[in-house]
Amino acid sequence: MRVYILPAGCTSSEELRVVERPDPAPGPGQVAVRVRAASLNARDQAVAAGTYVGGALARDTTPLSDGAGEVVAVGPGVARFKPGDRVAATFFQIPPAGPPFASRAPLGSPLDGMLAEQVVLYEDGLVAVPPHLSFEEAACLPCAGVTAWNALMRVGTPVRPGDVVLVLGTGGVSMLALQLARAAGARVIATSSSDEKIERARALGASDGVNYVRQPNWDEKVLELTGGRGVDCVIEAAGAGTLNRSIRALAPRGKISLMGVLTGRAGDVSPYGLMPKGGSLHGIFVGDREMFEEMNRAIALNAIRPAIDRVFPFEDAAGAFRYHKAGRFVGKIVIRVG
């Protein structure tokens, strides 16, 4: 089978290369999956650049945490899946080469990820794909979708009908949060540096958009759009550089779900503004299988289809990385594997 790797110590996605390896065989409790599609997250760019948590890769590593495919074989004792089932991998996995009680770790770093024609994973690291989704759409969910669900529905007070949600930017997490929040009956405001991206967010259900290039004090515009009240939930995908404005845009007893570092990991941030509002700040690092399955039920019930900006062929995985890095997309970038 063909497998992409990022070499140990790499500093750029341009070092991505494809190699041949034997087809993997599932052991006890494991499932072999023919990967049909995989998608990119901002995290994958940091892994390729050698700037992710822990520094440069210590070994040749298959990238991408997000993927979906079909079961081709199961090992002894597997009860949850059978050949032919459509599945997606969870972000956190028991190392396939380790025992079933080993500590979990993320796919794509430090574990080998999903940019391969086949993978072997323990059965509890897989979930069934909602029937209406394509493999490309299902591949958008493991990191970005579960992160959005956790941020909206699990931490703090769950988003309720009539709430107002603010999504920062138009990347994968933000657009899935927009779609899930709208399905929950919430109003959604989106920010972007591009009017064209704002219009695409409106097409997905955003009621309003704020161009933060023309309106650098975008928190003031958000307050104006909400009649001075603020928003009940902020999908804070940008990081320290925007956190103060997110706090100012928050409604009384609102929550900020922090999962991004696009504006950096450090900055002059004061949490004091949360105090008079009774607001809360929650760190989000994806979520577990229970959240994934809960989200999938909501996606199936509401016939949600993740927003895909562009699909690249397996042979042009490097092109997908370049396109993603340029930042001109809305939603997700997907690689069709087979």
Give residue limits of the domains in the chain: 2-140+306-336, 144-283
Token couple for 128: 């069934």
Cα-Cα-Cα-Cα torsion 245, 246, 247, 249, nearest 10 degrees, comes to 90
Architecture of domain 2-140+306-336: Alpha-Beta Complex (3.90)
| pLDDT tens across the length of the chain (338 residues) | 999 999 999 999 999 999 999 999 999 999 999 999 999 999 999 999 999 988 999 999 999 999 999 999 999 999 999 999 999 999 999 999 888 888 999 999 999 999 999 999 999 999 999 999 999 999 999 999 999 999 999 999 999 999 999 999 999 999 999 999 999 999 999 999 999 999 999 999 999 999 999 999 999 999 999 999 999 999 999 878 899 999 999 999 999 999 976 545 555 777 888 999 999 999 999 999 999 999 999 999 999 999 999 999 999 999 999 999 999 999 999 999 98
Q: What is the CATH topology of the domain spanning 144-283?
A: Rossmann fold (3.40.50)
Query: Considering the entire predicted model, what is its pTM?
Result: 0.95
Return the beta strands (E) in the chain as ranges: 2-5, 17-20, 30-39, 66-74, 86-89, 92-93, 105-106, 118-122, 126-128, 164-168, 187-192, 208-211, 231-236, 250-258, 280-283, 308-313, 332-336
* Backbone phi and psi for residue 43, each to the nearest 5 degrees, phi listed first: -55, -40
Query: What are the residues facing 191 on neighbouring strands?
Result: 168, 210
> How far, in Å, CA of 267 to CA of 246, rounded?
14
H-type helices in 99-231, by residue range? Answer: 135-138, 146-149, 172-183, 195-203, 218-225
CA distances from 134 to 72, 106, 250 (A): 18, 24, 36
Same fold, 2-140+306-336 and 144-283: no
